Amino acid sequence: MGRCREYLFGYALLAPALILLAVFEFFPLFYGLYISLCSWRLGCAEFIGAENYVRAFRDPQMWQALLTTATYSLMSVPVQLGLGLFFAYLLFQKVRGRELFRLVFFLPYVTSTVASAAVWSYLYNPDRGLINTVLGILGLPQPRWLAEPTGVFALIARGFGAELPAWAQGPSLALVAVFVYTTWVFVGYDITVFLAGLGNIPSELYDAARVDGASGWALFRHITVPLLSPTTFFLSIITVIGTFKAFNHIYVMTMGGPGTATTTASIYIFRQLYEFNRYGYSAALSFILFSAILVLTILQNRFAGRRVIYG
Amino acid sequence: MGRSLELPAARPAEVRAFRLRPPGVRFVIYLVLVIGAFVSVLPFAYMVTSSLKSYGSVITNNLWPWWPFGNEPIQWQNYIEAVQHTGWDRQWGTWLMVRYFANSLIVSGVIVAGVLITSVLAAYALAQIDLPGRDFIFLLVLATLMVPGELVLVPKVVMMFNFGWYNTYLALTVPFTVSVFGIFLLRQHFLQVPRELFDAARIDGAGHLQYLLWILVPLSRPALVVIAVLNFIWAWDAFQWPLLVTRDPSMRVLAVGLQQFMVGEGGVNTHLLMAFATMMVAPIIVLYFVAQRAFTEGFLSSGIKK
């Protein structure tokens, strides 16, 4: 085969993938930017420049949605990573049936989000859900979970007969319930990644420290935590991005409600698109959300990245 | 590639650390792990058991209405009723649920096949042929990983209307028949195959295509399985996109069908909804236990649940 024919053949092999990537990844990026600058009705009805963006920045609901997303993110990162590391550390001890435990913990992550979210919304059912039935038997209060827009701190305070000011209400119970579901889904993934990270720490370090008389906690604090920091950093970024993208389970469980209690940014964008057909506006919102993610990731890199130790 | 991702074997140091622990601590460790496993499985257990109970037993939270604690027979007919409650698809002359299942299988199947084909071809060109501009092309391919799906959602929906693909299988499949992760993984695999093999095949008269199909593809089976399994899961789980680009009930995939069932008919018939959910989850769980190694490797190396 001649040189030229071989090149042609090579490009022909690349063509399907490259064309698909160009059409469905690269082009939409610019097309989306264009749409966001238009008043869009089946086409660019009117080129309105930055108007959609200006409108977005003046839209209190968008800020509310971003705040909800940030709250969701802020709850998820420490709890998911903490639980993930906790279970991974337990499993890393010589535990019998470790592989079976890990398989089971990983199960929620691999099964269909829509199906498991549907199941959970029945577990959360205020009147006849499993959770409230058990709470009822135990004589505990039965909150309304996904249907409760009130903040959790406010609910707790109310239990003691106190009322909290608006700023101290805390995240809505509905959002917390969604977050509990998300934790259930993702902890298995965090465990698996942490286990791989733990396996990469050389055991000689532990031996040496032990010879010097270090106890279990000191080993964990001064060897495991620092040497695991690249894994922790990776997971925290993945988790933040994941919470900002979260859509399927929230839509299935609450559709963003009650009211706007669980309307995260991605839900808000979706509703602008799906319910109101505001193509230009939702495209602009997408760019704003992406900028928010980008800034967060850069900040994370700046501040947390410095504390990462690459063994 | 798999080696480095494998779970670490217990090392002597850990064994010793563990033996030093008093039995009480060991008991607590197992207790915590068992509770964790219980919580992981509970919603699935609730789903499957509820799907086999009468409506009354589900809403009164009768955990075990069957022998020996109750006298209810196992309600297998819930599954039939769930199928019937989804309604009738006139286009194919079958229950809509059958249609949802078929749609999910068609969509996932086409996506997996498409991803495998485009990835194998592209990865081969990138690994084996000394193309001018090859490194630049590879960088360009990798760069698309940085384009977040959310950002291109709106324009992609608009494009489906422009192409006339709205409410068709094309919209559900074609945009997902390429995978940067797949190309990347396979390229790595192909690069690890010694060049001598290619030269030997050449001498025996094999061209590029024969070498790729007869030698490289069989050698790369583990990677192909990982790519196939991951893309199958992603396709089976897809919800937002199918919801946006389809209109007719007959074009729904299982995830959309389930959500629509939940906000409609199934909202009151919890036992039927659970039967529906069980049917949707069952293939994935079976696949998981059959190919669990591919799952772990895939999710670890791809990094993200799509």
**Backbone angles phi and psi of A165, in degrees to 5:** -65, 160
The answer to whether A10 contacts B117, with C-beta atoms less than 8 Å apart, is no
Nearest CA in chain A to B30: A95
Query: What digits encode the pLDDT tens for the residues A216-252?
Result: 888 888 889 999 998 999 899 889 888 988 999 999 9
In the predicted model, is pLDDT for residue A122 greater than 50?
Answer: yes
Nearest CA in chain B to A205: B13
Q: Which domains are assigned to chain A? A: 53-307 (1.10.3720.10)
SS (H, E, C) chain B: CHHHHCCCCCCHHHHHHHHHCCHHHHHHHHHHHHHHHHHHHHHHHHHHHHHCCCHHHHHCCCCCCCCCCCCCCCCCHHHHHHHHHCCEECCCCEEHHHHHHHHHHHHHHHHHHHHHHHHHHHHHHHHHCCCCCHHHHHHHHHHHHHCCCCCCHHHHHHHHHHHCCCCCHHHHHHHHCCCHHHHHHHHHHHHHCCHHHHHHHHHCCCCHHHHHHHHHHHHCHHHHHHHHHHHHHHHHHCCHHHHHHCCCHHHCCHHHHHHHHHHCHHHCCHHHHHHHHHHHHHHHHHHHHHCHHHHHHHHHHHCCCC
The answer to whether B259 contacts A114, with C-beta atoms less than 8 Å apart, is yes
CB contact residues (below 8 A), chain B span 111-130, against chain A: 117-119, 121-122, 124-126, 129
What pLDDT sits at residue B266? Answer: 65
Of A1, A252, A274, the CB nearest to B259: A252
What pLDDT sits at residue B4? Answer: 36
In the predicted model, is pLDDT for residue A133 greater than 80?
Answer: yes
In the predicted model, is pLDDT for residue A309 greater than 80?
Answer: no
What pLDDT sits at residue A165? Answer: 85
What pLDDT sits at residue B187? Answer: 93
- Is 3.40.50.300 the CATH classification of the domain at B95-255+281-302? no
Q: Are B124 and A13 in contact (CB under 8 A)?
A: yes
Give the number of beta-carbon pairs within 8 Å between A and B: 268
The answer to whether B156 contacts A28, with C-beta atoms less than 8 Å apart, is yes
Residues of A in contact with B159 (CB under 8 A): 23, 28, 31
Tell me how close the Cα of A91 comes to any Cα of chain B, in angstroms: 8
In the predicted model, is pLDDT for residue B306 greater than 80?
Answer: no
The answer to whether A16 contacts B122, with C-beta atoms less than 8 Å apart, is yes
What pLDDT sits at residue B12? Answer: 43
The answer to whether B300 contacts A193, with C-beta atoms less than 8 Å apart, is yes
What pLDDT sits at residue A28? Answer: 95
The mean per-residue pLDDT over the stretch B94-107 comes to 95
Respond yes or no on whether the N-terminal peptide bond of residue B65 is cis (omega within 30° of 0).
no
Of A9, A119, A203, the CB nearest to B277: A119
CB contact residues (below 8 A), chain B span 154-183, against chain A: 154-159, 161, 174-175, 177-178, 180, 183
ipTM: 0.91
Report how far residue B253's alpha carbon sits from residue B272's, in angstroms, rounded to the nearest whole number. Answer: 18
Query: What digits encode the pLDDT tens for the residues B48-82?
Result: 999 999 988 888 888 888 888 888 888 999 999 99
In the predicted model, is pLDDT for residue A273 greater than 90?
Answer: yes
In the predicted model, is pLDDT for residue B296 greater than 80?
Answer: no
Please report where in the chains the tokens 């949707």 appear, as a residue.
B280
The answer to whether A7 contacts B131, with C-beta atoms less than 8 Å apart, is yes
Tell me how close the Cα of A58 comes to any Cα of chain B, in angstroms: 21
Q: Are B137 and A14 in contact (CB under 8 A)?
A: yes
Tell me how close the Cα of B212 comes to any Cα of chain A, in angstroms: 11
Tell me how close the Cα of A177 comes to any Cα of chain B, in angstroms: 14
Residue of B150, B165, B302 to mutate, testing the A interface (most A Cβ within 10 Å of its Cβ): B150
In the predicted model, is pLDDT for residue A86 greater than 60?
Answer: yes
Query: What digits encode the pLDDT tens for the residues B80-89?
Result: 999 998 889 9
The answer to whether A286 contacts B151, with C-beta atoms less than 8 Å apart, is yes
In the predicted model, is pLDDT for residue A265 greater than 90?
Answer: yes
Share of chain B above pLDDT 90, in %: 57
Residue B109 burial (CB count, 10 A): 13
A176-180, A217-221, B169-173, B254-258: least confident range: A217-221
In the predicted model, is pLDDT for residue B6 greater than 70?
Answer: no
Report how far residue B165's alpha carbon sits from residue B163's, in angstroms, rounded to the nearest whole number. Answer: 5
Mean pLDDT over each residue of chain A, to the nearest integer = 91
Of A28, A95, A273, the CB nearest to B152: A28
Does residue B296 belong to the interface with chain A, where contact is any CB pair within 8 Å? yes
In the predicted model, is pLDDT for residue A202 greater than 60?
Answer: yes
Residue B159 burial (CB count, 10 A): 20
The answer to whether A93 contacts B17, with C-beta atoms less than 8 Å apart, is yes
What pLDDT sits at residue A311? Answer: 53
Tell me how close the Cα of A165 comes to any Cα of chain B, in angstroms: 35
pLDDT category, B302, cuts 50, 70, 90?
low
In the predicted model, is pLDDT for residue A51 greater than 80?
Answer: yes
For B243-282, letters b (16+ CB in 10 Å) and e give: bbbbeebbbbbbbbbbbbbbeebbeebbbbbbbbbbbbbe
In the predicted model, is pLDDT for residue B109 greater than 70?
Answer: yes
pLDDT category, B2, cuts 50, 70, 90?
very low
**Which has the closest alpha carbon to B262: B232, A179, B252?**
B252
User: Where exactly are the structural domains of chain B?
Assistant: 2-85, 95-255+281-302
Query: What digits encode the pLDDT tens for the residues B8-42?
Result: 444 444 444 444 567 788 889 999 999 999 999 99
Residue of B154, B158, B276 to mutate, testing the A interface (most A Cβ within 10 Å of its Cβ): B154
Residues of B in contact with A26 (CB under 8 A): 144, 147
CB contact residues (below 8 A), chain B span 34-53, against chain A: 36-37, 39-41, 43-44, 46-47, 50
The answer to whether A35 contacts B154, with C-beta atoms less than 8 Å apart, is yes
The mean per-residue pLDDT over the stretch A144-152 comes to 92
Residue of B38, B152, B210 to mutate, testing the A interface (most A Cβ within 10 Å of its Cβ): B152
The mean per-residue pLDDT over the stretch B144-172 comes to 92
The mean per-residue pLDDT over the stretch A166-193 comes to 93
